[in-house]
Every structure is written in C-alpha cells, then in structure tokens.
Amino acid sequence: MVVLYSKMALAFRGTLRTLAKRLQVRTYAEAAKGDEMALTFAAGNKVFYDKVVVKQVDVPSFSGSFGILPKHVPTLAVLRPGIVTVIENDGKQNKIFVSSGTVTVNDDSSVQVLAEEAHPLENLDRGAAQEALSKAQSEFSSAGNEKAKAEAAVAVEVAEEIVKAASA
C-alpha cells in the first residue's frame, strides 16, 4: 500500500513537471538559475570592477544599507560614506570604502556603483582618519556661519565613518 502511494506520488509529480514545462511556468529553482549580475564599480581614482559577474553587493545609501542580488528590482540610490562589500563568484569578500556617489540597479540585473573616491579598507590609515576627525571637530566648533558649520558637520560624520571602518 505504501509502495503504491509513493509510486502514485512520483507519477503525479512527473505529470506536474511536464505540465509546467508545457505551460512555460517558471518554478523557484529555475528562476534562480542562470541569473547573473554584472557589476561595474568605479571611482574617480580607480576602476575596481568592469562588468564583472558577482554574487552580491552590499551598499550604504541614504535610503538605508541594502544588499543587491541578481534580479533585484531596478533602483537608484545615493551613496553615503561607508563600506561597500562585494561578494565575488568564488565567495571572496572585497570591502571598499566609498566617500559618496550613486548606485544604479538596472532591469537586466547589471549594477553600477560610481563613487567620487573609493579605497580598499587596507589603504585606510586609522591615525590619519583620527587626525582628520579632530580637525573637522575643531572646524565645527569654530565655524562662523551656518554653511561652514554644516560643511564641518559633514566632514565630522565622514571622518567618524572612516575611523570606524579603519578600526574594524
């Protein structure tokens, strides 16, 4: 009896599969297959990736930090200073600090990360970042007008982020 049931189940599953194929229905497993995400990641100082197929990209943006996988909904966002993590196809993680810029996710799953300045974490100097932070802080307290104060506040915010990244 049990054997009969499992045989029926198998036959049923087979029928379903042929039916799905005929109807061009995409099942979950199929949808995940064959999707590639080509990443272009460039800054004013360097091109890091040029249409390289990667697994995942995590970006810090003003609309929150988010991860991008293939088939992500098309998106535009402005970058905030922080670490962009690229997970390459072999699983290797590449962490790059970006100052600012834009990220674009297109309908064909291609991704463009364009930064004004970007450097791998190992190129950051914690001491220099701390120096930049205290300079920005003193500029903030001595700022004469609203605009200078806002500029210094941005510098403080960025320097704090760099110190955090360089300490990790």
User: C-beta of 63: minimal distance to other proteins in Å?
Assistant: 13
Joined tokens for residue 23: 């109807």
Q: Give the angle subtended at the CA of 46 by the CAs of 44 and 49, to the nearest 5°.
A: 120
129 binds other proteins (CB under 8 A): yes
Distance CA 61, CA 82 (A): 9
Q: Which residue has the tokens 């990641």?
A: 41
Q: Give the angle subtended at the CA of 102 by the CAs of 149 and 96, to the nearest 5°.
A: 90
User: C-beta of 64: minimal distance to other proteins in Å?
Assistant: 14
Binding flags for other proteins, 132-151, as an x/- string (CB under 8 A):
x---x--x------xx-xxx
| Cβ neighbours around 105 below 10 Å, total | 22
Binding flags for other proteins, 56-95, as an x/- string (CB under 8 A):
----------------------x--x--------------
31 binds other proteins (CB under 8 A): no
Give the footprint of other proteins on this chain (CB under 8 A).
Answer: 44-45, 78, 81, 97, 99-101, 116-117, 119, 123-125, 128-129, 131-132, 136, 139, 146-147, 149-155, 158-159, 162, 166
